[in-house]
Structure 1
Amino acid sequence: IEGMISIPMELGLSIDGGKALTVTSDWRPGDLIWRGTVGERRIAAQVRPVLNGLRVAWKGMSVSARAMLPRTAELERLMPEKVAPDTSKMLLCPMPGLVVSIAVAEGQEVKAGETLAVVEAMKMENVLRAERDLTVSKLKAKPGDSLAVDAVIMEFA
């Protein structure tokens, strides 16, 4: 908002129980550059929004910071970390589509770059190729199958 007065902020910052440094700044949410002092040193760092916080980058280092009420932080520490499934041994359908053909058989050894399957989506045929040398262990789809995004087409040994 035009004409707003910037109020400098000052706080004490201690990392892992170390000596507290005074941090001062007149940064406001929405500013892309944070300018201020940490201890006696003038700093300028890049600021970008992330989910529920900010990512601050300075001299090749970056850190995500989130401010929350103490009770929220306490509950956040109890939340299990969601680990993404290992899909390195699967060929997933990259978009919703129709399986046109499967170019391999179970037990077949395939070299990097060889065609594994063809999926038609939006009237275009998409050739799915092996990213590395592998052996096909199980076919999970067949020509004519209509697949959703990330549906498993085949598994590798």
Structure 2
Amino acid sequence: MNDSTTVSELNLPATVTFPTGIPGFESLTAYRLTHSETEVGYVFRLRAEADAEVEFTLVDPRLYALNYVLELDDAEQAQLQADDPTEIMVLLMVWKDASAPAAQGLNANIGGPILINIEKGLGIQKLIDQPRFEFSDQPHAECSISN
């Protein structure tokens, strides 16, 4: 991507390993993390190292005043290996429906945020049956993660 750069200036890992893959893509565990800066914030991309056709677009949910309240179970904690909640970056997977009118905008998977341990380059997609959020009129409010 011409407008994407590596995330080194953000102090984020260039490669993220998903120990069990991303649901639907379990065999692909290593992804390159890049980003583009927009008027409203960063747009991140995860591209599978083993298959360049597999790429996910991610955004910070706080851009939409949406703050996840997450609890990690023991297996998720083991996969992420985070010692502190501030090590976890929460991202929202978004996509554009090619058949939808241009004015419709983006769709978001609010029930499956991507969690990345920015210290260790480990990630998971957390599947949530009933997401809990804290809404804020501050677009850059702190995320809360309980573990």
Please, what TM-score do these two structures have when normalized by structure 2? Answer: 0.31
Structure with greater strand percent: 1
Of structures 1 and 2, the one scoring higher in RCO (CA 8 A, sep 6+) is: 2
Structure with greater helix percent: 2
Larger Rg: 1
Please, what TM-score do these two structures have when normalized by structure 1? Answer: 0.30
